[in-house]
Structure 1
Amino acid sequence: MKWTTANVKHPNYTAKHELYVGTHTGSFKHLTPASEKTPHGQTNLCQLSSLDKESRVTSLAFGDDAQTEILLGRAKGAAELLSLGEENTSSSVNFSCGPIVGLARYNNKLIAGIGKGTIQCLEPGSASEPVTITTGTQIDHLRQCQQARSIVATGGKERQNNLKVYDLSADGKQIFTSKNLPNDYLQLEVPVWDSDIGFVDGPSVLATCSRTGYVRLYDTRKQRRPVACFSSEEHGMSFAALVARGNFIYTGTTMGALKAYDTRRMKTHVHTYKGFTGGISDLHLDETGRFLSSASLDRYVRIHDADSTVLLYQCYVKSKATKVLIRHLEDEEQGTVVGEDDAKQVVNESLKQNKVAKSTPVDDEYEDMFEQMPVVGNSDDDSEKEEVNNEPTKKSKQKRKAANHTAKTKKKKA
């Protein structure tokens, strides 16, 4: 598909998805690409009159595995909990001053990563003060492991705020901290800036990206230093967003480049996704890992095919998109499934029909009458017709033979 700034939906994109988008102005929007009539229609889920300069959406995540709850964090330290369903309800929780860089749910508690370098745990609705865990002086992102929800990771700028992993089930104990690479050839310290973090299908393997142009892969079971690393000195390779799944790491840069890396060979990227004109602020994969959604500062949200890199969907959201979530719509029309009771009834009915068919008496005289009846096509009339049809062919052959004989005799006399 060619580059374009218009709203686009690929004709082969038939997956049932919906998008939740947070913007720089603080608005929170809902899009339904699966809609046939209005695939680019937008619905605001918050009151625009209550927004101010500090209402920027800085964090967006699902609160449970069923994806029925959304956790939204803002730059002014306010967190909102939105439940998805027939009745959309919302509640708010206020944390200490500072932007919320990550939200998570564990044991009915809300865990928030504060940009000033702390993790705060608070139970919504309680009057008690939040439990605080100090992680450093500044963090850029907090990420929760989906396979083990008690594990969270943080990362930020400078060596004292590098990648750290905490276990919330052990009162926030720090179980891992990364170690920087050795000094360069000038014996200078390699700069550290973990701008985003992602768990790779488990709590032990993590991936980080940096504003200084590197992507690193860590295994907490082996060593503190990265087990694989990609580093680039190209201008514009400043990574701002990351998401990982399986053997692939998807990263977005501040210059509008979206690339995929294979964890088995980190020398170079394996895919490049096109269509961006602004910096990429957030990435999110659907449950299957096939559809990659992205939020960009060019005021567009997009969905790419993770394998073929085809742009499937693009929508203009009128504000700088900072966070995005992709979710499968619940199937309203479900196919008819035959249960065990229904299957037993069908089997019993078929058995009854077989028994009735076998129990019907057989009339011997009726069967003999059908056996003695002549077969169609063996009557005398048919044989006579065949003889009549063959007569003209025999006469024509005899005439041809007589004509040939007379011609030969004339030639001999001559």
Structure 2
Amino acid sequence: VMQTKRKQEDSPKFQLVVGSETGFLKGISCEKSGIIFKNINTVKEPDRDLEICSLGSSTSGDILVGLRNRLIRVYSDDFTSSKSMDINCGSGRICSLGSFEQCVVAAVTSGEIIICKDDPLKFKVCHGEQELECMRQCSSNKGLICIAGKELLPSIWDLNNPEKALFNGKNVKLDNLQLRVPVWTSAVQFLNDENKLCACTKLSQIQVYDRRVQRRPVLNIVHGDDPLTALAVLTENEIVLGDRNGKVIKFDLRKKAICGGFKGSAGVIRDLQLHSQQPYLAVVGADRFLHIYDVNSCLRVQNIYLKSKLTCSLWVGNIHSNKTKLLKK
């Protein structure tokens, strides 16, 4: 475990942190003079092995940063100190991070879920040609996670008893030619209920699973032709979706129709992050811009050029009312 410390004055109060392909962790702060950003860490030479693949927060408020080389950096909530943990398990990158009972939970693309404690608990959720792409915790029960990926249907696991999945999704029925439909889930989340999941796929599918009803999706919609790459849940009936070509939409699951659009982004959307207490949506992707939208009006209130291709974001503070006015154009 490596530890570093930084001076307090070098760490302004951030409301948002953003990860990049080059390994820089960028902090975004709303000051009286306007929006400012700075690199929280230092990278001697940009390296894809240092790519920040996922961000999360611990139960104590620390910021979790997962790298492509399976290293986890843990920053204090004021970014004045950090430590590193090496995940000596599996292969591929860290695709998702979370926390459970004071422990860091990491998901690796080769299918391992690791609960990092003195005696690490590891269990495998996929095999063979399957590849884990996403893991999310249930907001109302942190002991439950949902996972999905390439040829890996959505499933629900209990971190207290991970020997067997609580729910295993089942593929949709054969297509019109009686051929199996491929599985490539790009994002999955609990739908404000520990029994319901919402997922989007690289095959342009929007799916809802309800484990109380059946294993197959209770809702399966093919939306357009572009692969869907990112998902955020607004309410039980409304979600936000991002695709490979930079399109970000608000979608009504009841009406099965678009109910709003977020304009201005370009290139593949890598991550959508909703603020837990304020009506803001952070969008990052290949266009190197951080876009911040008002989720109610769908209007963009700020976009910031951050020089590198961006991979993920995390809200770490509130934008105060007097600062909110600074965002609006």
Shift in Å, 1:264: 1.6
Equivalence for 1:71: 64
Shift in Å, 1:17: 7.6
Equivalence for 2:15: 18
Give the counterpart of 2:195 among 197, 204, 217.
204
CA distance in 1, matches of 2:307, 2:156: 37
Shift in Å, 1:109: 2.0
CA distance in 1, matches of 2:317, 2:103: 26
Post-superposition CA distance 1:314-341 (Å, at most 9, x none): 00000001001123338799xxxxxxxx
Give the counterpart of 1:310 among 299, 303, 312.
299
Q: Is the 8 A contact 1:81 1:91 kept in 2?
A: yes
Give the counterpart of 2:216 among 187, 212, 225.
225
Shift in Å, 1:286: 0.5
The alignment-based identity, stated in percent, is 27
Q: How does 1:168-317 map to 2 (within 5 A)?
A: 168-232=159-223, 234-235=224-225, 237-246=226-235, 247-266=237-256, 268-288=257-277, 290-317=279-306
Shift in Å, 1:245: 2.6
Shift in Å, 1:287: 1.5
Equivalence for 1:148: 141
Say if 2:71 is the partner of 1:82: no
CA distance in 2, matches of 1:119, 1:221: 25
Equivalence for 1:52: 47
CA distance in 1, matches of 2:264, 2:69: 32
Shift in Å, 1:228: 1.6
Shift in Å, 1:229: 2.3
Shift in Å, 1:197: 1.0
Equivalence for 2:325: none
Equivalence for 2:92: 98
The one-letter code of the counterpart of 1:89 is: S
Q: Is the 8 A contact 1:245 1:289 kept in 2?
A: no
User: TM-score scaled to structure 1, two decimals?
Assistant: 0.70
CA distance in 1, matches of 2:159, 2:38: 36
145 and 289 in structure 1: CA distance in 2 versus 1, 3 angstrom threshold: farther
Equivalence for 1:323: 312
130 and 84 in structure 1: CA distance in 2 versus 1, 3 angstrom threshold: same
CA distance in 1, matches of 2:278, 2:201: 23
Say if 2:113 is the partner of 1:122: no
CA distance in 2, matches of 1:332, 1:89: 29
CA distance in 1, matches of 2:200, 2:320: 36
The higher-RCO structure (CA 8 Å, 6+ apart) is: 2
Equivalence for 1:365: none
- The structure with the largest alpha-carbon Rg is 1
Question: What is the total number of aligned residue pairs between the two structures?
Answer: 305
Q: Is the 8 A contact 2:112 2:122 kept in 1?
A: no
- Aligned to 1:139, what secondary structure does the other structure show? strand
Equivalence for 2:10: none
Give the counterpart of 1:134 among 107, 122, 125.
125
Unaligned runs of 5+ in 1: 1-15, 334-414
Answer 1 or 2: which has greater helix percent: 1
152 and 172 in structure 1: CA distance in 2 versus 1, 3 angstrom threshold: farther
Unaligned runs of 5+ in 2: 1-12, 323-329
Q: Is the 8 A contact 1:148 1:203 kept in 2?
A: yes
- Aligned to 2:49, what secondary structure does the other structure show? coil
Shift in Å, 1:297: 0.7
User: TM-score scaled to structure 2, two decimals?
Assistant: 0.87
CA distance in 1, matches of 2:259, 2:314: 24
